[in-house]
Chain A
Amino acid sequence: MNNSLEKVQAALADYTAEDGSPFNVTATNNDDISMLTIIREDIEEFAILATASDSQLLFNVPLFDKSQIVDGQAPALNQMMLELNMAMPLSSFALTGANYSIFGAMSVDSEASQIQEEIVVLSENIMDALEVCQNYLIQGTSD
């Protein structure tokens, strides 16, 4: 596996969030992709996907896709995300293709403690981000 991802995996081994929730890390390595799936136990529905390029570690949490936005509400949602980007600690909103997410990026030279902080803060941002987006989303009852 990519050295940078190994570093992330090592940083999260035996590491728990403040509330005691552990992070379960699964590595995927094949010709196509090297990634880690990081799941915080109490919010397992939203996984943190870690990938690494030459210079950056990228932690991305897919939240929902365009099909889940109430008709006509996308521009308002986009604007709200831009306006809240700076308020959200260490993470930002992003749109990749049809997928909305929050993500954090950091140098591959980051220390283990910085990686832990990034992941904890990102995981804490997930529910807050979803909550603020909820008014723009189609309300689902079940899968």
Chain B
Amino acid sequence: MGFLNNVFKTIKGYGNEANDAFVDTQGIRIMEQEIRDADENQRKAHESLTEVMAEQKGIARKVKDLQASVDEYSEAIGKLLDAGNEELAMETAEKLAELETELESNQAVLDSYNEQVKELKMIIKDSAKQMEALKREVAIVKSTEAAQKASEATAAQFSGTNSSLRSASASMERIKAKQQKRKDKMKSARELAKETSGGELKDKLAEAGVIGSKSSAASILDRYKKV
């Protein structure tokens, strides 16, 4: 089964049925345990892959050697027949028949090893993807929770209440208003710049709150005293 299918089942499996929210601590703990188990399985799968690959290598070497012998004997038979040595050619052919049979059966074993290695690699890759996906899911849930707690704490600090969920649309309106205010401020600064010049402009900008109040010798001295 594809890894996404498994991930979906796991997430749904630990979800809180009541509000469809995957946020309860118990669910996360179980899922983290599952990730650890999967990690362990992954380690074991790697071990068996290593073993299978070692065997695969051994068989591959054997197949290569057998193939070399088959080539060698085939060539010899040709030469013997050319030289008219039919008796030795027959003997060689008998040996070649044995070798070819052995080659064939070893090749079949090698093919199955190759197939097994491919399969194991796929399984390992899929389960790694699944684990990563679950880890991300857990991280998202935890980070969202942590951020919510932090913003609730901030809200409580300012309003004295542990106010419930922040309203997204209200927040958006606030941000828009803030951005508009900033734009208006910049716009009025530009307009003022057009109308006035020099010291008069600075005064007006300070008055509009766009820049700080006028710099004076006293304020500069203050600045140095603070350092």
Contact = CB atoms under 8 A, between A and B. Distances in A.
* A, B bound: yes
B196 interface: no
Given A42-B175, A97-B23, A58 B141 contact: no
Contacts, number: 119
Given A46-B171, A66-B20, A138-B169, A96 B144 contact: yes
Chief secondary structure at chain A's binding surface: mixed
A60 interface: yes
Interface size on B, as a range, is 35 or more
B140 interface: yes
Given A47-B151, A140-B168, 18 more contacts: A42-B179, A42-B182, A45-B171, A45-B175, A49-B146, A53-B132, A53-B135, A68-B168, A96-B140, A96-B141, A97-B15, A134-B169, A139-B169, A142-B170, A143-B159, A143-B163, A143-B166, A143-B170
Interface string B171-186: 1101110110010000
B146 A28 contact: yes
Contact of A33 (B20, B21, B146, B165): B146
Interface residues of A, number: 43
Interface string B1-32: 00000000000000110011111000000000
Given A47-B147, A53-B139, A66 B132 contact: no
B141 A97 contact: yes
Interface in A67-115: 67-68, 96-99, 101
Contacts of A51: 136, 139-140, 143
B143 A98 contact: no
Interface of B: 15-16, 19-23, 132, 135-137, 139-144, 146-148, 150-151, 155, 159, 163, 165-172, 174-176, 178-179, 182
A3 interface: no
A142 B16 CA distance: 29
Nearest to A95: B20
B208 to A, nearest CB: 19
Contacts of A49: 140, 143-144, 146-147
Nearest to B139: A51
B175 A127 contact: yes
A133 B176 CA distance: 15
